Structure 1
Amino acid sequence: MALSLRRQILKLALPVAMQSVLISLLGMSDVFMVANLGSASVAAIGIGAKIHFVLVMVMASLGSAISVLVAQYFGRGKTDSARSILLLGMVSGLFLMLPVGLLFLTASESVLSLMSHDASMISKGASYLRITVPLLFFTHIIIAYESALRAQGETLLPLILAAVAIVINIILNYVLIHGVWLFPSLGSDGVAIASDIARGLQVLLFFGFLAVRNHSLSLTSLISARKEVHQYSKKFFMTAWPLTLNFTVWGFGSFIYHAIAATQGTDALASLSLVSPIEGLYHSLFFGFVTACAVLIGQNLGQDKFEMAKHLAKQFVIWTPIGSLFVGVAILLSSPFFLPLLIDPNESLYQLAVQLLWVMCLTFWLKVLNMTIIIGVLRAGGDSKYMVGVDMVAMYMLGIPAALLAAYYLELSYVWVYAMVLVEELAKAVLVSKRAFKGIWIKNLSD
Structure 2
Amino acid sequence: MSALSRPFFDAVFLKRLLLIAIPIALQTMMFSSRSLVDILMVGQLSEADVAAIGIAGKAMFVSTLLIFGAMTGGSMLVAQYWGAGNMQGFREKIALTVTLTNVTAALSALIFWLYADSIISVASDNPTVIALGKDYLQIAGLSLFCLASVSGLAAGLRAMHKPGISTFFSGVGISVNILLNWVFIFGHWGAPQMGSKGAAVATALSGIVEMLALYLYLYQRQHLVAFSRAEWVSSLTLKAVKRFLALSLPTAFNFLMWSSGLFVYHAIIGHVNEAGLAAIAVITPVESLSLSFLIGTANAAAVLVGNNLGAKQTETAYQQAWQVGVFNFIAGVFIALVMLAIQPWVLGFFPALTGETAQITAYFYWAMCALIVVKTIPMAMIVGVLRAGGDVRYCLGQDFVAQWLIGIPVVLAAAVVFEWPVYWVYALLATEELVKWVGSLIRVKSGVWLNNLVSDSN
TM-score class, shorter-chain normalisation, is over 0.9
**1:228 and 1:122 mapped to 2: Cα distance?**
42
Q: Which deviates more, 341-350 or 285-294?
A: 341-350
Query: Counterpart of 1:441?
Result: 449
Residue identity opposite 2:72 in structure 1: S
Contact map agreement 2:25 2:293 (CA 8 A) in 1: yes
Alignment match, 2:399 = 391
Cα offsets for 1:232-262 (capped at 9, x unmatched) = 2232122212212211111111111112122
Whether 2:121 is the aligned partner of 1:113: answer yes
Paired residue for 1:7?
Answer: 15
Matched, 1:101 2:89: no
Question: Residues 245-302 of structure 1, C-alpha deviation per residue, up to 9 Å, x if partnerless?
Answer: 2111111111111121222343111100101111001111211111111111000111
* TM-score scaled by length of structure 1: 0.96
Q: Does 1:373 align with 2:386?
A: no
Structure-2 separation of matches of 1:229 and 1:128: 35
Q: CA deviation at 1:217?
A: 2.3
Q: Does 1:364 align with 2:372?
A: yes
Q: Does residue 415 in structure 1 map to residue 423 in structure 2?
A: yes
Go from structure 1 to structure 2 and tell me whether the alpha carbon gap of 1:373 and 1:90 turns closer, same or farther (over 3 Å shift). Answer: same
- In the alignment, which of 197, 203, 211 is matched to residue 189 of structure 1? 197
User: In the alignment, which residue of structure 1 is the partner of 2:28?
Assistant: 20
Paired residues of 1:343 and 1:349 also in contact (CA < 8 A): no
Letter of the aligned partner of 2:30 in structure 1? L
SS in 2 for 1:232: helix
- Confirm or deny: 8 A CA contact 2:136 2:196 kept in the other structure: yes
Taking the aligned partners of 1:439 and 1:2, their CA distance within structure 2 comes to 20
Query: Aligned ranges for residues 49-88 of structure 1 at < 5 Å?
Result: 49-88=57-96
Note if contact 1:39-1:267 (Cα within 8 Å) is conserved in structure 2.
no
- The 3-state SS of whatever aligns with 1:37 is coil
Q: Extract unaligned runs of 5+ from structure 2.
A: 1-8
Contact 1:295 1:380 in 2 (8 A): yes
State the partner residue of 1:153: 161
Q: Is the 8 A contact 1:17 1:286 kept in 2?
A: yes
The one of 215, 230, 236 equivalent to 1:229 is 236
Question: 2:60 corresponds to which letter in structure 1?
Answer: H
The aligned residue for residue 43 of structure 2 is 35
Q: How far does residue 149 in structure 1 lie from its aligned partner after superposition? A: 1.5
| Cα displacement (A) at 1:152 | 2.0
- Where do 5+ consecutive residues of structure 1 fail to align? none
Q: CA deviation at 1:91?
A: 1.9
Matched residue pairs, number? 446
- 1:359/1:383 Cα in 2 relative to 1: closer, same or farther (>3 Å)? same
- Asked if residue 254 in structure 1 is aligned to residue 257 in structure 2, the reply is no
Do the aligned partners of 1:84 and 1:232 also contact (CA within 8 Å) in 2?
Answer: no
The residue type paired with residue 225 of structure 1 is: W
Question: What is residue 410 of structure 2 aligned with on the other side?
Answer: 402
Q: How far apart are residue 347 of structure 1 and its match?
A: 1.2
Q: Which amino acid aligns with 1:282?
A: S
Q: Which residue of 1 aligns with 2:100?
A: 92
Paired amino acid for 1:340: G
Per mean C-alpha deviation after superposition, the further-off stretch among 103-112 and 116-125 is 103-112
Alpha carbons of structure 1 residues 228 and 276: separation in structure 2 relative to 1, 3 Å: closer
Structure-1 separation of matches of 2:353 and 2:184: 28
- Which one is further off, 372-381 or 258-267? 258-267
What's the secondary structure of 1:341's corresponding residue?
Answer: coil
